[in-house]
Amino acid sequence: MDSSPADSFGPRWGASPDAPAVPTPDENGMVSIGITLDVPEPFATTLREARLRFGDERGESVPTHITLVPPMEIPVESTPGVRGHVRAVANETSPFVIQLRGTGTFLPTSPVVFIAVSRGISECQTLSERLRHGVLNQALAYPYHPHVTIAQELPEEALEQAYQEAAQFTARFMVHGFGVYFHDEGGRWQLFDRVPFGP
């Protein structure tokens, strides 16, 4: 699998998302939220289609992304504060380059194959650390490692296929802001906000 190494610009940040102003809480007043760097087109579609081809149905409902804050539950009334915190971090961040190159895996610890981040690692780590404060503070199950998942919880043969077929993948693009998503009961990711970098 290969793609053009030429620069590709990210989504148009600041556009009003097609989503409710506040996520609908569950019966306990909680919402599940996550924060990402979204992979732009045409790379997003290339990797989503590959994920589906490998047999991972999450490609239908999960956008192609680099996770900064993994999905977590927060009280719905804290959403405005979270939004303010995310915007404050974004205001102090400048756009930067992400380079994706080749594959990696978390096996045997976790059945995941991913596209590796080869440039922009330290920026992702810094942003993840800065975002995970206050209500977004969480103890990670594993040390933070930026990546783009292309196969998860599949049979060993499918994971090996993903690892081999995507080994030559490369992409380079600028990231211009955060994607803030909430997750419905079916596990689908719904865009809540796009937060541009810079004041």
- Whether residue 33 lies inside any domain: the answer is yes
pLDDT of residue 25: 86
Provide the pLDDT for residue 1.
53
pLDDT of residue 130: 95
CA angle 2, 97, 133 (to 5 degrees): 120
How far apart CA 96 and CA 197 sit, in angstroms, is 10
Residue 72 CB neighbour total at 10 angstroms: 17
Q: How far apart are CA 68 and CA 40, in angstroms?
A: 16
Is residue 42 domain-resident? yes
3-state secondary structure of 80: helix
Residue 1 lies in a domain: no
Residue type, 25: P
By residue range, what is the domain housing residue 148?
Answer: 7-13+25-192
Residue 98 lies in a domain: yes
Q: Distance between CA 143 and CA 186 in Å, rounded?
A: 27
Q: Is the pTM of this model over 0.85?
A: yes
CATH number, domain of 153, equals: 3.90.1140.10
Residue 199 lies in a domain: no
**115 within some domain:** yes
Which residue ranges in the chain fall short of pLDDT 70? 1-21
Domain count, the chain: 1
